[in-house]
Chain A
Amino acid sequence: DSGVTQTPKHLITATGQRVTLRCSPRSGDLSVYWYQQSLDQGLQFLIQYYNGEERAKGNILERFSAQQFPDLHSELNLSSLELGDSALYFCASSAPGTGFSEQYFGPGTRLTVT
């Protein structure tokens, strides 16, 4: 158990809908990262937040957005969902004490868009 929690574990929804994925980082970690794992694209970095502020952006679609709250949990919002958004979404967290060298991943949320 990495200490990173994600909810829900599974999510099934229809095209055009909007969903919110939630992540709680390890205690003391200020940085949260979101990754998408799909069969065709592999594991891709989406976005990073540090202590509530966006720090880096990767291959994140405009239909997707994220935020990190004062209690450091983060939410990834996916809207106007398409079949191709079906994937495993991982959250990871890291601590400044390690120079952010260690990223610990949560168990993921499996999103199925039908």
Chain B
Amino acid sequence: GEDVEQSLFLSVREGDSSVINCTYTDSSSTYLYWYKQEPGAGLQLLTYIFSNMDMKQDQRLTVLLNKKDKHLSLRIADTQTGDSAIYFCAERRAAGNKLTFGGGTRVLVKP
């Protein structure tokens, strides 16, 4: 998805916090999502945020949305080895229900 950008790789130590960043271009985006993909598996919906919100917290996950800068981040507290995966951000625009995905950020958690 050329309209949704993510960094390619993030390395983090077990127990630390991870922050994965995403930028998007369409100001009409209504929902923004974070999905997790483990090797050989499908996409797991982690969390999502409606565009009129700034923050959403769900257990170890915190999503921050800066609409002015079109910037979305996912913070994972107390990162565990099981959090090693590829994380995709996606946007859903006002017109239609399709999701536009970023290229994914590979997160490697080191013990």
B45 touches A31 (CB 8 A): no
- The answer for the CA separation of A108 and B100 in the assembled complex, in Å, is 18
Check: B60 CB closer than 8 A to any chain A CB.
Answer: no
How would residues 30 to 51 of chain B score, 1 for a CB under 8 Å from any chain A CB and 0 otherwise? 0101010000011111001010
Number of A-B contacts (CB under 8 A): 59
Instruction: Pick from B1, B35, B92: contact of A101, CB below 8 A.
Output: B92
- The answer for the CA separation of A2 and B44 in the assembled complex, in Å, is 8
Check: A83 CB closer than 8 A to any chain B CB.
Answer: no
A42 touches B97 (CB 8 A): no
User: Known contacts A42-B104, A43-B88, A101-B92: does B44 contact A55 (CB below 8 Å)?
Assistant: no
Instruction: Pick from A4, A100, A104, A108: contact of B97, CB below 8 A.
Output: A100
Instruction: Pick from A33, A44, A92, A102: contact of B48, CB below 8 A.
Output: A102
Residues from chain A with Cβ under 8 Å of B99 in the complex: 33, 35, 45, 103
A105 touches B98 (CB 8 A): no
B44 touches A105 (CB 8 A): yes
Residues from chain B with Cβ under 8 Å of A2 in the complex: 42, 44-45
* Residues of B contacting A: mostly: strand
Check: A68 CB closer than 8 A to any chain B CB.
Answer: no
B92 touches A90 (CB 8 A): no
Residue of B nearest to A47 (CB): B98
Number of interface residues of B (CB under 8 A): 23
* Residues of A contacting B: mostly: strand
Residues from chain B with Cβ under 8 Å of A108 in the complex: 42
Residues from chain A with Cβ under 8 Å of B48 in the complex: 101-102
User: Known contacts A42-B1, A43-B88: does B101 contact A101 (CB below 8 Å)?
Assistant: no
- The answer for the CA separation of A33 and B29 in the assembled complex, in Å, is 19
User: Known contacts A104-B45, A105-B44, A107-B42: does B101 contact A94 (CB below 8 Å)?
Assistant: no
* Residues of A participating in the B interface, judged by any CB pair closer than 8 Å: 2, 4, 31, 33, 35, 42-45, 48, 55-56, 58, 90, 92, 94, 100-108
